[in-house]
């Protein structure tokens, strides 16, 4: 997906130049995992034109395995992002209808090739929101992954600009029983009927427990966010695997609000894959998520070394 945003804190109405980034939930997670050193294969369908090429080159440059990305007719989905500041919220205008991916059918994808050598599968709630084809594809991918014994993680993020809460709920409830690890923001769970739990540790643990039991999850990871303004957030997280592991919180000065959840997800998946214990895993994932907020673009460009360094020293001292 192509992301176009006015420079700095300019508004859409003041746009003479748009900054170009590439992103999208699963792409961000794949790139982040590749940067951390994992093999990550990203699957989508991209148009044949130059901007489709650009997206591909971006992923390849960062080491993402793009061999299963389809190419063909259709647009490149795009969205406009206006960076918020202070009391002014960031705003998104989606322009994704008719994208090559949205138009692609599950039949075009070769799951044997896609899952070859893979041990886990990650999906977000945005994929099924892109239309019937994509909803079918998400379900099929999860089933195929499950059947092959992969660990399935799912982030049920909800975009009000793409569908209604009811549609999302109905869809997510078919996907969650196939999910091993749920990764979500604690405030984003209202689509599943939970009340927002904010920064309340007890209520957040309660919510995670409820979800694990309701959907038979192996674990649930919930980010916890305190909204001070569009420029400042508190940020923490819970990893719940019967035991509740809370990360120590960060006070974030936000450079780029988008992709924090994906950075957290990638950090968590990486940490679990390395066999870190729950407490370390959630600290790693939260540090990864925190760093993302200081990086322009959708994807977390923080290295493993930076994440570990942050876990040890939050001072932000200059390194020279």
Element (H, E) at 267: helix 260-273
Q: Which is nearer to a copy of itself, 37 or 216 (CB)?
A: 37
- Indicate whether 3 belongs to the interface with a copy of itself (CB under 8 A): no
Q: Report, in angstroms and rounded to the nearest whole number, the Rg of the chain calculated over CA atoms.
A: 18
- Indicate whether 58 belongs to the interface with a copy of itself (CB under 8 A): yes
Per-residue tokens: 42? 């990203």
Look at the block and give the residue holding tokens 């138009």: 103
Q: Following CA atoms 319, 27, 144, 141 in sequence, which dihedral angle do they give, to the nearest 10 degrees?
A: 150
Question: Closest distance between a copy of itself and the C-beta of residue 221, in Å?
Answer: 19
- Indicate whether 305 belongs to the interface with a copy of itself (CB under 8 A): no
Q: Which is nearer to a copy of itself, 105 or 229 (CB)?
A: 229
Q: Which of 68, 92, 114, 139 binds a copy of itself (CB under 8 A)?
A: 92
- Indicate whether 38 belongs to the interface with a copy of itself (CB under 8 A): no
Look at the block and give the residue holding tokens 């604690």: 186
What distance in Å separates the CA atoms of residue 307 and residue 298, rounded to the nearest whole number?
Answer: 17
CB 268 within 8 A of CB 247: no
Nearest to 43 by CA among 61, 34, 30, 53: 30
- Indicate whether 53 belongs to the interface with a copy of itself (CB under 8 A): yes
Q: Which of 232, 243, 248, 308 binds a copy of itself (CB under 8 A)?
A: 232
By CB under 8 A, what part of segment 140-169 binds a copy of itself? 159-161
Nearest to 105 by CA among 134, 148, 69: 134
Question: Closest distance between a copy of itself and the C-beta of residue 81, in Å?
Answer: 8
- Indicate whether 195 belongs to the interface with a copy of itself (CB under 8 A): no
Question: Closest distance between a copy of itself and the C-beta of residue 11, in Å?
Answer: 5
Question: Closest distance between a copy of itself and the C-beta of residue 35, in Å?
Answer: 9
Q: Which of 61, 193, 216, 279 binds a copy of itself (CB under 8 A)?
A: 61
Question: Closest distance between a copy of itself and the C-beta of residue 213, in Å?
Answer: 29
Tell me the CB-side half-sphere exposure of residue 204, using CA atoms within 13 A: 26
Q: Is 233 helix (H, G, I), strand (E, B) or coil?
A: strand
Tell me the CB-side half-sphere exposure of residue 315, using CA atoms within 13 A: 5
Q: Which is nearer to a copy of itself, 53 or 277 (CB)?
A: 53
- Indicate whether 229 belongs to the interface with a copy of itself (CB under 8 A): yes
Question: Closest distance between a copy of itself and the C-beta of residue 44, in Å?
Answer: 17
Using CA of residue 279, residue 282, residue 285, residue 287, what is the dihedral sign? negative
Q: Which is nearer to a copy of itself, 102 or 152 (CB)?
A: 102
What distance in Å separates the CA atoms of residue 307 and residue 310, rounded to the nearest whole number?
Answer: 5
What's the start-to-end Cα distance of the chain, in Å?
A: 36
Q: Which is nearer to a copy of itself, 183 or 212 (CB)?
A: 183
- Indicate whether 219 belongs to the interface with a copy of itself (CB under 8 A): no
């Amino acid at each position: 997906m192509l992301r176009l945003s006015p420079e700095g804190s300019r508004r859409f109405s003041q746009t003479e130049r748009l900054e170009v980034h590439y992103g999208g939930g699963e792409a961000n997670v794949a790139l982040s995992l590749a940067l951390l050193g994992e093999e990550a294969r990203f699957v989508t369908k991209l148009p044949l034109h130059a901007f489709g090429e650009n997206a591909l080159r971006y992923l390849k440059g960062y080491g993402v395995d793009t061999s299963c990305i389809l190419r063909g007719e259709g647009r490149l989905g795009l969205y406009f992002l206006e960076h918020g500041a202070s009391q002014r919220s960031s705003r998104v205008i989606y322009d994704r209808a008719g994208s090559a991916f949205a138009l692609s059918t599950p039949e075009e994808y070769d799951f044997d090739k896609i899952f070859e050598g893979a041990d886990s599968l990650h999906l977000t709630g945005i994929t099924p929101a892109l239309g019937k084809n994509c909803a079918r594809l998400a379900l099929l991918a999860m089933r195929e992954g499950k059947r092959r014994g992969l660990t399935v993680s799912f982030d049920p993020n909800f975009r009000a600009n793409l569908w209604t809460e009811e549609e999302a709920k109905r869809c997510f409830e078919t996907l969650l029983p196939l999910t091993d690890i749920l990764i979500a923001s604690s405030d984003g769970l209202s689509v599943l009927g939970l009340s927002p739990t904010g920064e309340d540790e007890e209520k957040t643990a309660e919510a995670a427990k409820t979800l694990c039991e309701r959907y038979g999850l192996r674990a649930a990871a919930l980010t916890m966010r305190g909204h001070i303004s569009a420029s400042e957030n508190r940020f923490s997280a819970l990893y719940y695997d019967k035991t509740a592991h809370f990360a120590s919180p960060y006070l974030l000065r936000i450079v780029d609000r988008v992709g924090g959840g994906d950075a957290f997800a990638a950090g968590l998946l990486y940490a679990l894959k390395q066999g870190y214990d729950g407490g370390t895993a959630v600290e790693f994932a939260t540090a990864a998520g925190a760093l993302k907020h200081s990086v322009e673009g959708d994807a977390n460009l923080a290295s493993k070394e930076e994440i570990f360094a942050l876990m040890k020293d939050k001072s932000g001292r200059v390194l020279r």
